[in-house]
Protein backbone atom coordinates (compact mmCIF):
# COMPACT_ATOMS: atom_id res chain seq x y z
CA UNK A 1 0.00 0.00 0.00
CA UNK A 2 1.20 3.48 -0.85
CA UNK A 3 -0.03 7.08 -0.74
CA UNK A 4 0.58 9.59 -3.52
CA UNK A 5 -0.62 13.18 -3.75
CA UNK A 6 -1.08 15.20 -6.93
CA UNK A 7 -2.21 18.82 -7.17
CA UNK A 8 -3.69 20.40 -10.24
CA UNK A 9 -4.46 24.05 -10.91
CA UNK A 10 -7.92 24.64 -12.36
CA UNK A 11 -8.87 28.10 -13.60
CA UNK A 12 -12.56 28.91 -13.22
CA UNK A 13 -14.82 31.87 -13.82
CA UNK A 14 -16.44 31.29 -10.41
CA UNK A 15 -20.20 32.00 -10.50
CA UNK A 16 -21.04 28.30 -10.03
CA UNK A 17 -18.99 27.23 -13.01
CA UNK A 18 -18.86 23.45 -13.14
CA UNK A 19 -15.65 21.99 -14.55
CA UNK A 20 -15.00 18.42 -15.67
CA UNK A 21 -11.89 17.23 -13.79
CA UNK A 22 -12.16 13.54 -14.69
CA UNK A 23 -9.14 13.75 -16.98
CA UNK A 24 -7.03 15.24 -14.20
CA UNK A 25 -8.19 12.49 -11.85
CA UNK A 26 -7.33 9.77 -14.36
CA UNK A 27 -3.97 11.42 -14.97
CA UNK A 28 -3.16 11.35 -11.26
CA UNK A 29 -4.14 7.71 -11.04
CA UNK A 30 -1.97 6.85 -14.04
CA UNK A 31 0.97 8.82 -12.63
CA UNK A 32 0.70 6.90 -9.34
CA UNK A 33 1.19 3.55 -11.01
CA UNK A 34 -1.16 2.03 -8.41
CA UNK A 35 -3.64 -0.62 -9.53
CA UNK A 36 -6.22 -1.06 -6.78
CA UNK A 37 -7.34 1.42 -4.19
CA UNK A 38 -9.20 4.65 -3.66
CA UNK A 39 -8.80 8.12 -5.16
CA UNK A 40 -9.72 10.99 -2.84
CA UNK A 41 -10.69 14.15 -4.72
CA UNK A 42 -10.62 17.18 -2.44
CA UNK A 43 -10.77 20.93 -3.02
CA UNK A 44 -9.24 23.08 -0.29
CA UNK A 45 -11.31 26.23 0.21
CA UNK A 46 -14.74 27.14 1.52
CA UNK A 47 -16.47 28.30 -1.68
CA UNK A 48 -16.09 25.25 -3.92
CA UNK A 49 -17.15 21.60 -3.91
CA UNK A 50 -16.68 18.28 -5.70
CA UNK A 51 -19.31 15.85 -6.99
CA UNK A 52 -20.14 13.77 -10.08
CA UNK A 53 -22.62 14.39 -12.88
CA UNK A 54 -23.21 13.42 -16.50
CA UNK A 55 -21.13 16.22 -17.97
CA UNK A 56 -23.33 17.42 -20.81
CA UNK A 57 -24.44 21.07 -21.08
CA UNK A 58 -28.06 20.38 -20.18
CA UNK A 59 -27.44 18.53 -16.92
CA UNK A 60 -24.75 21.03 -15.96
CA UNK A 61 -27.15 23.94 -16.47
CA UNK A 62 -29.79 22.06 -14.48
CA UNK A 63 -27.41 21.61 -11.54
CA UNK A 64 -26.47 25.30 -11.64
CA UNK A 65 -30.16 26.26 -11.73
CA UNK A 66 -30.89 23.94 -8.80
CA UNK A 67 -28.14 25.54 -6.70
CA UNK A 68 -29.61 28.96 -7.51
CA UNK A 69 -33.07 27.78 -6.39
CA UNK A 70 -31.79 26.05 -3.24
CA UNK A 71 -29.30 28.70 -2.13
CA UNK A 72 -30.23 31.89 -4.03
CA UNK A 73 -27.69 34.58 -4.66
CA UNK A 74 -30.43 37.21 -4.34
CA UNK A 75 -31.35 36.85 -0.66
CA UNK A 76 -29.42 38.49 2.22
CA UNK A 77 -26.62 36.57 3.94
CA UNK A 78 -25.13 37.28 7.36
CA UNK A 79 -21.68 36.52 6.01
CA UNK A 80 -22.01 39.42 3.58
CA UNK A 81 -23.13 41.82 6.31
CA UNK A 82 -19.97 41.08 8.24
CA UNK A 83 -17.42 40.75 5.48
CA UNK A 84 -18.90 42.61 2.53
CA UNK A 85 -17.49 40.26 -0.08
CA UNK A 86 -20.88 39.26 -1.45
CA UNK A 87 -20.18 35.55 -1.53
CA UNK A 88 -22.26 34.38 1.44
CA UNK A 89 -24.28 32.17 -0.93
CA UNK A 90 -21.01 30.61 -2.16
CA UNK A 91 -20.09 29.46 1.34
CA UNK A 92 -23.48 27.87 1.92
CA UNK A 93 -23.48 26.08 -1.45
CA UNK A 94 -20.00 24.74 -0.73
CA UNK A 95 -20.94 23.47 2.74
CA UNK A 96 -24.02 21.79 1.28
CA UNK A 97 -22.24 20.01 -1.58
CA UNK A 98 -19.01 19.36 0.36
CA UNK A 99 -15.38 19.46 -0.77
CA UNK A 100 -14.43 15.78 -0.93
CA UNK A 101 -15.34 12.51 -2.62
CA UNK A 102 -13.79 9.01 -2.48
CA UNK A 103 -13.78 7.06 -5.75
CA UNK A 104 -12.62 3.41 -5.85
CA UNK A 105 -10.35 2.21 -8.65
CA UNK A 106 -9.50 -1.29 -9.84
CA UNK A 107 -7.04 -2.51 -12.46
CA UNK A 108 -5.89 1.12 -12.77
CA UNK A 109 -9.38 2.37 -13.72
CA UNK A 110 -11.74 4.56 -11.75
CA UNK A 111 -15.02 2.75 -11.13
CA UNK A 112 -17.18 5.52 -12.57
CA UNK A 113 -20.26 4.93 -14.65
CA UNK A 114 -20.05 5.43 -18.40
CA UNK A 115 -21.81 8.79 -18.23
CA UNK A 116 -20.47 9.88 -14.87
CA UNK A 117 -17.81 12.59 -14.68
CA UNK A 118 -16.04 14.09 -11.67
CA UNK A 119 -16.66 17.83 -11.43
CA UNK A 120 -15.38 20.81 -9.51
CA UNK A 121 -18.14 23.32 -8.72
CA UNK A 122 -16.74 26.78 -8.09
CA UNK A 123 -19.35 28.79 -6.21
CA UNK A 124 -17.26 31.89 -5.58
CA UNK A 125 -18.46 35.17 -7.10
CA UNK A 126 -15.27 35.87 -9.03
CA UNK A 127 -12.76 34.00 -11.20
CA UNK A 128 -10.42 31.77 -9.21
CA UNK A 129 -7.47 29.50 -9.75
CA UNK A 130 -8.28 26.43 -7.70
CA UNK A 131 -5.85 23.84 -6.50
CA UNK A 132 -7.51 20.44 -6.56
CA UNK A 133 -5.97 17.58 -4.60
CA UNK A 134 -5.99 14.06 -6.05
CA UNK A 135 -4.80 11.59 -3.46
CA UNK A 136 -4.22 8.02 -4.58
CA UNK A 137 -4.13 5.32 -1.88
CA UNK A 138 -3.65 1.72 -2.87
CA UNK A 139 -1.34 -0.96 -4.10
Residues that bind its own copies (CB under 8 A): 1-3, 5, 36-38, 40, 42, 44-46, 51-54, 56-59, 61-63, 65-66, 70-71, 77-83, 88-89, 91-92, 94-104, 106, 111-113, 115-116, 119, 133, 135, 137-139
DSSP bridge pairs for 5: 135
Which CB sits closer to its own copies, 13 or 61?
A: 61
Could you tell me the smallest distance in angstroms from the CB atom of residue 29 to its own copies?
Answer: 14
CB atoms within 10 A of CB 53: 17
- Residue 74 or 82: the one with the smaller Cβ distance to its own copies is 82
Q: How far is the CB of 126 from its own copies (least distance, A)?
A: 15
Residue 71 is classified by DSSP as S
How far apart are CB 47 and its own copies at their closest, in Å?
8
Cα(134)–Cα(21) distance, integer angstroms: 10
CB-wise, 19 or 89, nearer to its own copies? 89
Pairing of β 48-53 and β 117-122: antiparallel
Q: Considering the complex, what minimum distance in angstroms separates the CB of residue 135 from its own copies?
A: 4
What separation in angstroms does the CA of 123 have from each of 20, 26, 80, 133?
Answer: 15, 24, 15, 18
Q: Which residues pair with 50 in a beta bridge?
A: 120
Amino acid sequence: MAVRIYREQVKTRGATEIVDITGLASGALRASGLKNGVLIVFVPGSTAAVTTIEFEPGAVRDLRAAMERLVPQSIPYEHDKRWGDGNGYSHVRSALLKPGLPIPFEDSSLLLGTWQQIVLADFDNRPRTREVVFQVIGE
